[in-house]
Each structure stands twice: as C-alpha cells, then as structure tokens.
Chains A and B, each alone.
Chain A
C-alpha cells in the first residue's frame, strides 16, 4: 500500500481569495500523478494528469505543480468561487497500473 497524503484535510476560503493544498507521494518509481475534483452527489472528475518533474498544468483558475524528486504536488485555486467547493483527490501511479489515492482535501468556499 503506497502512502499518499493530502493536507489539509479540509479548508474554508472566502469567495475571491486564493488557496492551495498539498499532495505528498513516494518519490521512487514515479509514473504519474492525477488530480480529481469530486463535487457532492457527482462522480469524481479529472483535472490533471501529470507525468514530468516540474510539470505545471492549468485549467481556468485551477493550476497544479509537480515535484517528483521530493514527492509532492500543489494544487492552486485562484479567486475561489462557490462552484469550487468540492473534495480534491490526488492519486499516485507507480510503475504499475494501480492508482493510490489520498483521502482528499475538502474545500468550502464561503460567499
């Protein structure tokens, strides 16, 4: 079982503010790092799949960075909106096909 940790477990942010949170994963046998957004009563939806050290990906106001040597990824939300309220899951894929998920960071954006 690979240890994938996300912090914080939850956070509250005021509408319009920016925020970020962390995913830590093993630094060996890296293959890919996934980020998913999971809104209540919906299915998890892919945000990013990152494969290269130093990768930076962006989708609208959400972006992510990747450091495979030290085993962490940051997800950033710029100018948070109520629709950004969700649980954000990261998942690590080693040199096999299995995805190991973190427990998620639950973001609540207050209007």
Chain B
C-alpha cells in the first residue's frame, strides 16, 4: 500500500509569486485535505476535496485554491504569496465520505519559505 507523498519537500519563493504543491493520496482513499502549520501552532485546516469536489474550507482567502484529480491526487495553489504564507503544508488522505470519523493519513509535508 503506497502512502501519502508530497512534493516538493522544500521550496523558496518571493512575495507575489505563485506556488503549486502536490499530493498523492494513499491507495483506496478518495478524500484529501490540506493543512497549514505555522511555527509554534497546530495544523490549520485549509480545505478538503471529496471525489474531485471541494466540500469544506477553513478561514483562508480565495488565493488559496486546490484541485483533486480523477486518481484522487491533489494540488494546492497559492497565488500572490505573502510572507505569512511561510509554513509547512500538510496533505492528508482518508477513506470514505467526508463526514466519516476515520483517521487521516498524512504526508511529510512541503516546507514553503516566502522571502
């Protein structure tokens, strides 16, 4: 069983640029969620995709957007990067419907630094 993989692992961008982060979900999982973890804080929910549709969003502005593909892999796009976007971005996949209580399977994260 292939686990959740994220790419790139580290990247550096400058203010105003755009970034795309990628996530391959675990085999058999059709739900993907994205989290932002800033230094000293817990992961903050960005949004979730279930069967290629966004079905939940946290308190993040529209410049944070995403996609889920037919193979259930996913992308997180951030436009007009700001310094405060510097964080670890975690992707997690899970099985079943969005409302299930099941555990999340996380990737190791993408560390974004915005200069």
Contact = CB atoms under 8 A, between A and B. Distances in A.
Contact of B103 (A6, A34, A89, A104): A34
B105 A46 contact: yes
Interface residues of B, number: 27
By DSSP majority rule, is chain B's interface helix, strand, loop, or mixed?
loop
A89 B101 contact: no
Interface residues of A, number: 27
Interface in B42-62: 42-45, 48, 55-56, 58-59
Given A31-B101, A97-B56, A98-B56, 5 more contacts: A1-B59, A96-B56, A98-B48, A98-B58, A101-B43
Interface of B: 3-4, 33, 35, 40-45, 48, 55-56, 58-59, 90, 98-99, 101-109
